[in-house]
Structure 1
Amino acid sequence: MISFIICLALLIGGYFVYGKVVENTFAPDDRETPAVRINDGVDYVVMPQWKLFLVQLLNIAGLGPIFGAMQGALWGPVVFLWITFGTIFAGGVHDYFSGMLSERNDGASISEVCGIYLGNVMKNVMRVFSVVLLVMVGTVFAVGPAGLIVTLLGNKGVTGVLANPEVWLWIILAYYFVATFISIDKIIGRIYPLFGICLIVMAVGVIVGIFTNPNYTIPEIWTHFTNMHPAGKPIWSFMFITVACGAISGFHSTQSPLMARCMKSEKQGHFVFYGAMVAEGVIALIWAAAGCSIYKITGGLSTGLNDILANGQSAAIYDVCIKTMGGVGVALAMIGVIVCPITSGDTAFRSARLVLADWFKVDQNKMQKRLMLCVPLLAVGAFVGHLDYAIVWRYFSWTNQTLAMIVLWTASMYLFREKKNYWITAVPATFMSAVSMTYFFCAEECLGLSTKVAYPVGIILAAAFLGIFIRATKKPMKA
């Protein structure tokens, strides 16, 4: 429990200390923002700072810091370290720069931003990566809630059509269709902040339930500093890919432009982007603590947690809510892990629409043109939603972290051009390059090579990426 409290304190302190370092490095000023200058009443709409924060938190969170953190807890409390330091030095930095670089470039999608600083080849790579990732995120955040709704109704004895996850999947996709093309302030700006508050309240309820129940004890890192995964999966780099949204997530860079288009002042970036990532890190830390403390450990392995996760993410989340909050947990589970993921899913498809609009130069002021992009996107989402969920999640995780890697290199190039300290982004970019490349070589869904091959190759490639970047900094900049 002490190590959990220390990590929690580090996360909060990281927002005020390192978050300020990041902000000062970027140096926001008083220039007119895209929300004020463009303001089209659809995607560019000025919102107050508190609403920006809550909407950003809801957009980037969903099931990510919940289910990803619980899966990460299979490795034991060592996951606390990745959530804490990953959030402070990688995730928060990634989210801040993805949002602020978009803001500095008229609210451009992250693929267009990457093209500005890394060239046209990377722009096209990022366009494809972004759309693929966003469709998978939207699908993940539709299938998961649909399954949890069926779980909750099943526990209430409901049968028939309403107990069919297929029905709920189509209902959620229908909602996505509407929310993807209407003005951002019609639904997202009005009611999503309330759901963001619910997500926070649910996390608080879980940790209070753990602290007040004498049967639950959060294990210490120093007494469980081993690999506790029942299947023996290595910590490097599987844990770093699995936790994803709870530490650093490329998906966030696709969401940040949504709020970059709604900021009244650049100085709101620290609270909106870095602050929302820290809040998500706290939520992930709490759910990881739940996974480590509530379930049985056998022979130094997280067997109890593994068993409950085998029943599906919906059953696992429902079980934690019931064990920590009782009947109240059921209501919070419905709001926190049904509504909140859905709200991340619709903004995922919304972001995909904007990426395609920037890509093909399709003006989004007219509803007909927005529908022209929404219809095929949701059709693809419906198809992906019927694939094996576990496989979709694994590909989502790797694509997610690879996108984060590219965005951090983009921020590094921006800082170099501005003659600022680029190491605050280049170091986490190198680290995430090693994580992503190692996973690509050794994961079953990728190349499936031995770790004896994957480890050195992944690290060598990360070093090569750093070398390419350093070489680029030695070349004279174009006027």
Structure 2
Amino acid sequence: MNSLVLLLTGIILFFIAYLTYGRWLAKHWGVDVNKKTPAHTKFDNVDYCPADAKVLLGHHFSSIAGAGPIAGPIQAAIFGWVPVMLWILIGSIFIGGVHDFGSLFASIRHGGNSIGEIIHANIGQKGKKLFNVFAWVTLVLVVAAFTDICASTFAFDPSKPNVLVGAQAGTASILFILLAMVFGFLVYRRNAPLSIATVFGVALLFLCIYLGYTFPVLKLSKLQWQIILLIYITVASTMPVWLLLQPRDYLCSFLLYAMLIGSFIGILVLHPTMKLAPVTSFNVKGQTLFPFLFVTVACGAVSGFHSLVSSGTSSKQLNSEKDAQLIGYGSMLIEGIVAIIALISVGYVMKAEGTPAAIFASGTATFMNSFGLPLEVGKVFVILSFSAFALTSLDTATRIGRYIFQEFFEVKEDGTRSPLANMYVSTIITVLCSLGLILYGYKKIWPIFGSANQLLAGLALLSLTAWLARRGKKTIMIVIPMVFMFAVTLSALFLIIKSYLFGAKPNYILGVMAIILFILALVLIGEAYKTLKGLGKDGNKSIKA
């Protein structure tokens, strides 16, 4: 199969979906370009801060992309490229895009509050607490998995002194973080014109890549990188969004755009043939296509983490509701393109050896080598892009984990504020809990992360269903994806529990976590069912928001 056909098919279908289904959703939900967003009504210049649509697109896309749309499809390719491709297309258009767009819009209409607060308003206090616990545990898994992936990507092996790709990408990444902070200071505190600052910022970004490639001074072990990354996310997640989050994610988006364009041109020139089998087997090494294909692809088609980004940071920065479709629905479709390129990469090299970043870099750098980019330079560039997205997801996940932890302990029963609601205390607790799971490595964490992440998407869709029902809106476009996601993820969690607790190599900690997530989800579904059943009996409960 010619991979160019796959890529063009994906791009064309996504473009049509954005213009048709995306616009239909915006019209049906009632997007109002004249309504002020929380970024203006609750402006505080720390979390609530209006951003230009281009800047916010960069932040949102970089945050949701992370390592997921690359690592997921590559690991799911064990089932063959056809089922992975079909799920990326169907999932991105009808489930992931709807989920992301809906979460962003619902958060805007609830004052920029999180999905937990939306559940509180539409299902009840008990539902909110259950969801917040579930979401926080999922974020701990996100931080643990992505920290391990980043550390593995940057690690230098002294026994292979000539292999410097990790050290080069790690050095460039640190330089990039410093550049982003300078960019943010100049744009938001010295009022430098965004257009001029962007030109210089992107030029200096590629200078960082050159310096990292030429002078890879950070030759650190995986453990050393894990420590550095944990310190970084602790600090970064408490900094004002204008100083690091917005500028870094905005500049980071240009890395991805360059990688996407380079990959497209490379595939156009080389038009590599998919060497991977279209379909392998329904059962591969004990993992069945249903449900594990869907939870393994994860962010490449739908991700509950996206709802936390949409309602955690992006809704607080949206300048106008007219940007909601671009940021919410559009970003998910672009992520789907990244997932297709990742699938083509592993389909071309036809083997999954090394980290997902190494596999992706090998394939993509080969594509770009077809138009003259040196292979080794291409690998460093792709790995840097991959790690930059993973880093954005890392500190965004930590920041959102802090938000949720603070919400949970915001007010004690006597009306006073709990010390656990302190910004720094909640951040440190979140990071320390992730530290306890990092030792397992991303390969062991990924199945439960994928299941929890997809189940979180189902719960976010559940909250949207309740909200739309209260507004007297039709919910069919939410209910069908929600039911499917619950069927997939509850099945996956059941099999994971069985494997972790009663398998040949039991893992009791992850097994107990899976049980907790399974029970929380069932109880929350029960709470939502009672609410929706009540709405069906009493039409007067519909509200406008």
The TM-score normalised by the length of structure 2 is: 0.76
1:72 aligns with 2:76: yes
Say whether 1:127 aligns with 2:108.
no
Match of 1:255 in 2: 309
Aligned equivalent of 1:315: 358
SS in 1 for 2:11: helix
Distance 1:283 1:151, change over 3 A: farther
Residue identity matched to 1:356:
F
SS at match of 1:183: coil
- Residue in 1 that maps onto 2:300: 246
Distance 1:141 1:467, change over 3 A: closer
Q: Which amino acid in the other structure matches residue 26 of structure 1?
A: W
SS state at 1:78 partner: helix
The one-character-per-residue Cα deviations of 1:333-366 (angstroms, maximum 9, x if unpaired) are 23212222011100100001111222222799x9
Cα distance change of structure 1 residues 208 and 356 upon mapping to structure 2, 3 Å threshold: same
Q: Is the 8 A contact 2:156 2:221 kept in 1?
A: no
Equivalent residue for 1:298? none
Query: Could you tell me how far 1:207 is from its partner in structure 2?
Result: 4.1
Counterpart residue number, 2:449: 396
Measure, in 1, the Cα distance between the counterparts of 2:161 and 2:26: 48
Q: How does 1:145-160 map to 2 (within 5 A)?
A: 145-150=150-155, 154=160, 156-157=162-163
- TM-superposed CA distance for 1:329, in Å, is 1.7
1:166–1:49 distance in 2 versus 1, CA, 3 Å: same
Q: Deviations over 1:224-272 (max 9, x none)?
A: 3563775363221110010010100000011112010011211211001
AA in 1 matched with 2:37? T
Q: Identity rate of aligned residues, in percent? A: 28
Does the residue aligned with 2:155 lie in a helix, a strand or coil? Answer: helix
Q: Secondary structure at the match of 1:218?
A: coil
**Structure 2 residue 440 is the aligned partner of structure 1 residue 387:** yes
Secondary structure at the aligned position of 1:181 is classed as coil
Matches within 5 A, 1:69-468: 69-76=73-80, 77-150=82-155, 154=160, 156-157=162-163, 162-213=219-270, 216-218=272-274, 224=278, 227=281, 230-231=284-285, 233-257=287-311, 258-295=313-350, 304-305=351-352, 308=353, 311-325=354-368, 326-361=375-410, 369-443=422-496, 444-445=498-499
1:163, CA displacement in angstroms? 3.8
Alpha-carbon shift at residue 284 of structure 1 (Å): 0.6
Inter-partner Cα distance in structure 2 for 1:251 and 1:238? 18
Q: CA deviation at 1:144?
A: 0.8
Give 1:457's aligned residue.
Answer: none
The aligned amino acid for 1:12 is: F
Contact 2:291-2:491 at 8 Å conserved across structures: yes
Q: For 1:1-40, what aligned pairs fall within 5 Å after superposition? A: 1=2, 2-29=5-32, 30-40=34-44
Provide the C-alpha distance between the structure 2 equivalents of 1:251 and 1:105, rounded to a whole number of angstroms.
Answer: 19
Q: How far apart, in 1, do the equivalents of 2:40 and 2:220 lie?
A: 47
Letter matched to residue 52 of structure 1: L
Secondary structure at the counterpart of residue 320 of structure 1: helix
> Does the CA contact (< 8 Å) of 2:275 and 2:349 recur in 1?
no
Structure 2 residue matching 1:227: 3-state secondary structure: coil
Quick check: 1:404–1:432 contact (8 Å CA) kept in 2?
yes
Partner of 1:300: none
Counterpart of 1:279, as a letter, is I
| TM-score normalised by structure 1 residue count | 0.86
Q: Which amino acid aligns with 1:374?
A: T
The 1:225/1:372 distance shift into structure 2, 3 A limit, reads: closer
Count of residues in correspondence between the two structures: 449
How far 1:440 moved relative to its partner? Answer: 2.0
Q: Secondary structure at the match of 1:28?
A: coil
Q: Say if 1:55 and 1:189, in contact at 8 Å, map to a contact too.
A: yes
Whether the 8 Å CA contact 1:195–1:335 is kept in 2: the answer is no
**Contact kept in structure 1, 2:357 and 2:383, CA below 8 Å:** no
- Contact 2:146 2:442 (8 Å CA) reproduced: no
**Deviation larger for 25-34 or 90-99:** 25-34
- Structure 1 gap segments, 5+ residues each: 296-303, 450-460
AA in 1 matched with 2:162: K
Structure-2 separation of matches of 1:470 and 1:130: 22
Show CA shifts across 1:117-142 (max 9, x none): 22222211111111111122122222
C-alpha RMSD over aligned residues: 2.9
Structure 1 residue matching 2:219: 3-state secondary structure: helix
TM-superposed deviation, 1:332: 1.5
What stretches of structure 2 of length at least 5 have no aligned partner? Answer: 168-216, 369-374, 504-521
Contact 1:7–1:84 (CA under 8 A) maintained in structure 2: yes
